[in-house]
A and B are shown apart, each in its own frame.
Chain A
Amino acid sequence: MKKFMLDLIVKKNEVLNNQYSLLILTSHNKLPEMLPGQFAEVRVDHSPTTFLRRPISINYIDYETNELWLLIQIVGDGTRKMYELKAGDTLNLIFPLGNSFSLPEKKDARILLIGGGVGIAPLLFWGSYLKERGYTCNFLLGGRSKDNLLQLCEFERFGNVYTTTEDGSHGECGFVTQHSLLKASNFDYIYTCGPTPMMKAVASYASKTKANCEVSLENTMACGFGACLCCVTDTTEGHLCVCTEGPVFNITKLKWQI
Chain B
Amino acid sequence: MANLNINIGKLQLKNPVMTASGTFGYGTEFSDFFDISRIGGIFVKGTTLRDRQGNPYPRMVETPSGMLNAVGLQNKGIDYFINHIYPTVKNIDTNIIVNVSGSTIKEYVETAEKLNSLEKIPAIELNISCPNVKEGGMAFGTNCLSAAQVVKVVRRVYKNELIVKLSPNVTDISEIALAVEAEGADSVSLINTLLGMAIDSEKRTPILSTITGGLSGPAVKPIALRMVWEVAQAVKIPVIGMGGIMNAADAIEFMLAGASAIQIGTANFIDPTVSIKVLDGINDYLDRHGYKSVTEIIGALEI
Contacts and interface: CB of A to CB of B under 8 A. Distances in A.
B60 A239 contact: no
A159 interface: no
A94 B272 contact: yes
Contacts of B268: 223, 227
Interface stretch (A16-24, A49-57, A134-142, A166-174): A49-57
Interface in A211-235: 219-234
B16 interface: no
Q: Which of A5, A226, A230, A232 has the most CB of B within 10 A?
A: A230
Contact of B64 (A49, A230, A232): A49
B54 A239 contact: yes
Interface residues of B, number: 34
A2 interface: yes
Nearest to A238: B53
A4 interface: yes
Interface in B269-284: 269-273
Contacts of A50: 62
Interface string B23-62: 1110001101100000000000100000001101111111
B54 A51 contact: no
A230 B65 contact: no
Given A226-B25, A228-B23, A239-B74, A2 B60 contact: no
B60 A5 contact: no
A221 B71 CA distance: 12
A107 interface: no
A53 B269 CA distance: 8
Contacts of A2: 32
Contacts of B64: 49, 51
B243 interface: no
B273 A228 contact: no
Contacts, number: 84
A51 B53 contact: no
A192 to B, nearest CB: 20
Interface string B282-297: 0000000000000000
B66 interface: yes
A210 interface: no
Contact of A225 (B60, B217, B272): B272
Interface in A231-258: 231-234, 238-239
Given A3-B33, A233-B57, A239-B54, A227 B71 contact: no
A3 B217 CA distance: 24
Contact of A222 (B25, B32, B67, B273): B67
A209 to B, nearest CB: 29
A43 interface: yes
Q: Which 4 A-B pairs have the closest CB atoms?
A: A230-B60, A223-B269, A3-B32, A227-B25
8 contacts: A51-B65, A51-B67, A53-B269, A223-B272, A228-B23, A229-B71, A233-B57, A239-B57
Given A3-B33, A51-B217, 15 more contacts: A4-B32, A51-B65, A51-B270, A52-B62, A220-B60, A222-B269, A225-B29, A225-B272, A227-B268, A229-B54, A231-B57, A232-B59, A233-B57, A234-B56, A239-B74
